[in-house]
């Protein structure tokens, strides 16, 4: 389906130079004279490479339809994450380069939505937040609030997150996987 570049928004999947890309960021820009532009940051879903690209707002872009299917996260190895479609037990691999730092916050067995195009996995839609158990952190020292009252904590997936000083080992915390930031206690 063709659309004007002026209608691109974050999360859209497009066909650009013969490859599938996902729009990470889009910003409408209108210079003083000349035609309006759409400044975008797009991610190649094969290589994981991000580029900044500017389209003329009236330029036609091939928008592709993707399927979003809830799948179970199985495991990861040094290069990929593996997911299973629980409806038909098909397994799919997605490159760690494509998923990025979100992979650090996925727990085996959790459910995520996987985008498919022609039965080929493209990327995942990260959950809004994840609940993970703190397995390692320093004990807070009373009165130690000069440093902004944050400390490092290691969660069960192995990721390191900055948390308030009152968080202890075995606490379950809520993390935004896109930013890697602590958002609250579970």
Spell out the residues 6+ positions from residue 92 whose beta carbon is closer than 8 angstroms to its own: 71, 82, 83, 84, 85, 114, 116, 121
Taking the C-alpha atoms of residue 105 and residue 180, their distance in angstroms, rounded to an integer, is 8
Which class is 130-185 in CATH? mainly beta
- Decide the pairing of beta strands 91-95 and 111-117: unpaired
The SS3 of residue 108 is coil
pLDDT digits (tens, 9 = 90+) for 7-32: 888 888 999 888 889 999 999 888 87
- Domain boundaries, given as residue ranges, for the chain: 2-63, 67-125, 130-185
pLDDT for res 131: 93
DSSP secondary structure, 132-163, as one string: EEEEEEPPPPTT--TT-SEEEEEETTS-EEEE
CATH 2.30.30.30, domain 2-63, yes or no: yes
CATH 1.10.540.10, domain 67-125, yes or no: no
- Same fold yes or no, 2-63 and 67-125: no
Contact 22, 47 (CB under 8 A): no
User: Is 80 exceeded by the pLDDT of residue 141?
Assistant: no
Mean pLDDT over residues 34-48, rounded? 85
pLDDT band at residue 127 under the 50/70/90 scheme: confident
Contact 37, 31 (CB under 8 A): yes
Query: Higher-confidence residue: 72 or 118?
Result: 72
Query: What ranges in 73-138 are assigned the alpha helix state H?
Result: 96-99
pLDDT for res 148: 63
| Residue 5 neighbours by CB distance under 10 Å | 21
Q: What pTM value is reported for the model?
A: 0.77
pLDDT digits (tens, 9 = 90+) for 50-95: 899 998 888 899 998 888 899 999 999 999 999 999 999 999 999 9
């Amino acid at each position: 389906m063709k659309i004007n570049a002026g209608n691109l928004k974050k999360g859209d999947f497009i066909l650009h130079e013969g490859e599938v890309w996902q729009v990470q960021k889009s910003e409408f820009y209108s210079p003083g004279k000349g035609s309006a532009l759409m400044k975008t940051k797009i991610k190649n879903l094969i290589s994981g490479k991000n580029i900044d690209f500017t389209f003329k707002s009236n330029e036609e872009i091939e928008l592709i339809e993707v399927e979003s299917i809830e799948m179970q996260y199985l495991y990861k190895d040094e290069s990929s994450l593996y997911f299973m479609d629980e409806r038909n037990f098909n397994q799919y691999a997605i490159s760690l380069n494509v998923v990025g730092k979100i992979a650090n916050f996925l727990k085996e067995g959790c459910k995520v939505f996987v985008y498919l195009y022609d039965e080929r996995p493209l990327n995942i839609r990260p959950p809004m937040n994840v609940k993970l158990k703190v397995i390692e952190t320093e004990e807070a020292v009373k009165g130690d609030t000069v440093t902004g009252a944050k400390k490092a904590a290691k969660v069960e997936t192995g990721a390191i997150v900055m948390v308030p000083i009152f968080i202890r080992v075995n606490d379950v915390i809520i993390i935004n996987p896109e930013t890697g930031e602590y958002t609250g206690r579970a």
